[in-house]
A and B are shown apart, each in its own frame.
Chain A
Amino acid sequence: MYNKGTIIPGLIIFVLFVTFPIWFNGLKAGTPPKPELPPGGEKKCVESVEYMRVNHMQLLNKWRDNVLRDDNREIITVDGKNYRKGLQMACMQCHSNKEKFCDNCHTYAAVTPYCWDCHLSPKEAASKEETQ
């Protein structure tokens, strides 16, 4: 083998890059997050658990477009219960703890939704009110 002095360090760097997740995690997988169920004990949502788990962001995006862009504030009725289209008006009424519900999975999956650029979580809203 020629040029060992450069090729072997090069190969070591390559292997370190490829195995990045192995040594970065140090073989500790951690525990998958368990989002907190509504503290009020509600069991029904606008859609099934399976649907909401994978599609909630698309539903919220649709609602945002409906309300803010198309002025469509139609009330959604599921099993006799009325829901207004909105993160704070519908979702957070039951899932009141953003930190224990939303952030739980979002932090795990490294998702930073821009909902919170405009919206306030109930906790934040409360602290704002206090200061005023």
Chain B
Amino acid sequence: MKYAFSFLAVIALILIAGLGSQIPGMQYLFGVAIPYLAIMLFVGGFVYRIIQWAKSPVPFSIPTTCGQGASLDFIKQDKLDCPTKISEVVGRMFLEIFLFRTLFRNTKSEIHNGPKVTHESSKWLWLFGLLFHYSFLVIIIRHMRLFVDPIPFWLSAIEGVDSMLQIGAPTLYLSSVVLLLGILFLFGRRLINVQVRYISLNNDYFPLVLIFAIAVTGILMRYFLRTDIDIVTIKSLALGLVTFSPVIGAQIGTIFYIHLFLVCTLLAYFPFSKLMHMGGVFMSPTRNMANDSRAKRHINPWNDPTIKPHSYAGYEDEFREFMVDAGIPVDKELPAAKDEA
């Protein structure tokens, strides 16, 4: 029942926004003050987290190698899975960020009668993860139509493709449906897959429930609870926010304030949560380092420059007497003792 807390938290957030925005005068808080605070927390927190990571030293060269490394000329190197050059690392990172190549390698292990362990490829996580992330990206991009005036052509083009099925009015967006499918899979996976369920925590469930609630309130606002959802009023508020002259004109429906408050929560929570994998994917040494530790020495930034290298010959020079005493073989014998003569 770990996930119950996430549902309760999101329900509490919905109640706060739903009831709070009904109090006269509070529209300014929910429509202007909280969005500004949330975006500042998002940008500030994001930059802070990245800088904290950038300050952490990488003591060892630790790229994960998943293929044949560079070797003799007649052995073919797997350039993407064991990169040795920056260009190859860039290729690897590009595929990781845009196509989630690591998830593509996801496998499922099962125990059958025998007992016999089987491992097989499991691409569902990759497929739904990709669908979820790309539809979320499209949704964020097409929300920009509320923040810019005039509308650039590429924005209308994305919107046109997203609503190309021309179902209903306002037209149904494909990305809304795909996002919901994706999030239901990602949530269901944490409930149904026993191993994943065991390791899932509240901070895994909460963002999923929150994004689900954001999507549902958005869909409700667009298609069902349209009372006082006048796009012109909403756009002038959004444009006011990004031009630092916010105005709340006419009455806006409660569902809008709920949707906005949940988005603000997501923005404010983002830098301090696992959602930071958005920035973290660029910062993971196992992916962004080249596997060239035999060609180039990786200096540990922790190294104390006052500690000089100590060769074996130097070590033996320092401890030869004690080693001989203890019967440890030495490369160079002790000089003939003077007191014997």
Residue interface bits A53-67, CB-to-B below 8 A is 1, else 0: 111011011000000
Residue interface bits B291-335, CB-to-A below 8 A is 1, else 0: 000000000010000000000000000000000000000000000
Residue interface bits A34-77, CB-to-B below 8 A is 1, else 0: 00000000000000001001110110110000000000000000
| Interface pair A53/B230, CB less than 8 Å apart | yes
Q: Which of B43, B47, B226, B242 has a CB less than 8 Å from the CB of A55?
A: B226
Query: In B10-59, which residues have CB < 8 Å from any A CB?
Result: 39, 42-43, 46-47, 50-51, 54-58
A55 vs B225: C-alpha distance when bound (angstroms): 10
A-B contact pairs, 11 of them (CB 8 A): A2-B56, A2-B301, A24-B148, A25-B147, A29-B245, A30-B239, A32-B232, A33-B232, A54-B226, A61-B168, A108-B232
Q: A residues near B, CB below 8 A?
A: 1-4, 7, 10-11, 14-15, 18-22, 24-25, 27-30, 32-33, 50, 53-55, 57-58, 60-61, 105, 107-114
| Interface pair B235/A32, CB less than 8 Å apart | yes
Q: Which residues of A contact B102 (CB under 8 A)?
A: none
Q: Top 10 nearest A-B pairs by Cβ distance?
A: A21-B147, A110-B145, A61-B169, A57-B169, A21-B242, A29-B243, A110-B151, A109-B231, A29-B239, A32-B236
Closest to B167 in A: A61
| Interface pair B240/A29, CB less than 8 Å apart | yes
Q: Which residues of A contact B168 (CB under 8 A)?
A: 58, 61
Number of interface residues of B (CB under 8 A): 50
| Interface pair A109/B235, CB less than 8 Å apart | yes
| Interface pair B235/A108, CB less than 8 Å apart | yes
Q: Which residues of A contact B42 (CB under 8 A)?
A: 18
Q: Which residues of A contact B148 (CB under 8 A)?
A: 20-21, 24-25
| Interface pair A25/B235, CB less than 8 Å apart | no
| Interface pair A10/B231, CB less than 8 Å apart | no
Given A33-B232, A57-B169, the answer on whether A14 and B54 have CB atoms closer than 8 Å is: no
B196 to chain A, nearest CB (A): 30
> Does B279 interact with chain A (Cβ within 8 Å)?
yes
Q: B residues near A, CB below 8 A?
A: 39, 42-43, 46-47, 50-51, 54-58, 144-149, 151-152, 155-156, 159-160, 166, 168-171, 226-233, 235-236, 239-240, 242-245, 249, 279, 282-283, 301
Q: Which residues of A contact B170 (CB under 8 A)?
A: 57-58, 111
A13 to chain B, nearest CB (A): 11
A37 to chain B, nearest CB (A): 15
Given contacts A7-B283, A15-B43, A18-B42, 14 further A-B contacts (CB under 8 A): A4-B54, A14-B47, A18-B39, A20-B144, A20-B148, A27-B243, A32-B249, A53-B230, A58-B170, A105-B231, A108-B235, A109-B146, A110-B151, A111-B231
Given A11-B50, A14-B279, A18-B43, the answer on whether A109 and B243 have CB atoms closer than 8 Å is: no
| Interface pair B239/A25, CB less than 8 Å apart | yes
B334 to chain A, nearest CB (A): 47
Given A24-B148, A29-B239, the answer on whether A105 and B232 have CB atoms closer than 8 Å is: yes
B42 to chain A, nearest CB (A): 7
Given A18-B42, A27-B244, A29-B239, the answer on whether A110 and B159 have CB atoms closer than 8 Å is: yes
| Interface pair B169/A2, CB less than 8 Å apart | no
Q: Which residues of A contact B229 (CB under 8 A)?
A: 54
Given A7-B50, A29-B243, A110-B145, the answer on whether A60 and B169 have CB atoms closer than 8 Å is: yes
Given A7-B50, A27-B243, the answer on whether A54 and B228 have CB atoms closer than 8 Å is: yes
| Interface pair A28/B236, CB less than 8 Å apart | no
A60 vs B171: C-alpha distance when bound (angstroms): 12
Q: Which residues of B contact A21 (CB under 8 A)?
A: 144, 147-148, 242
B215 to chain A, nearest CB (A): 20
| Interface pair B227/A109, CB less than 8 Å apart | no
Q: Which residues of B contact A3 (CB under 8 A)?
A: 54
A18 vs B227: C-alpha distance when bound (angstroms): 31
Closest to B240 in A: A29
A4 vs B240: C-alpha distance when bound (angstroms): 35
Q: Which residues of A contact B51 (CB under 8 A)?
A: 1, 7, 11
Closest to B164 in A: A114
A3 to chain B, nearest CB (A): 6
Q: Which residues of B contact A112 (CB under 8 A)?
A: 156, 159-160
Given A1-B51, A29-B245, A110-B145, the answer on whether A58 and B46 have CB atoms closer than 8 Å is: no
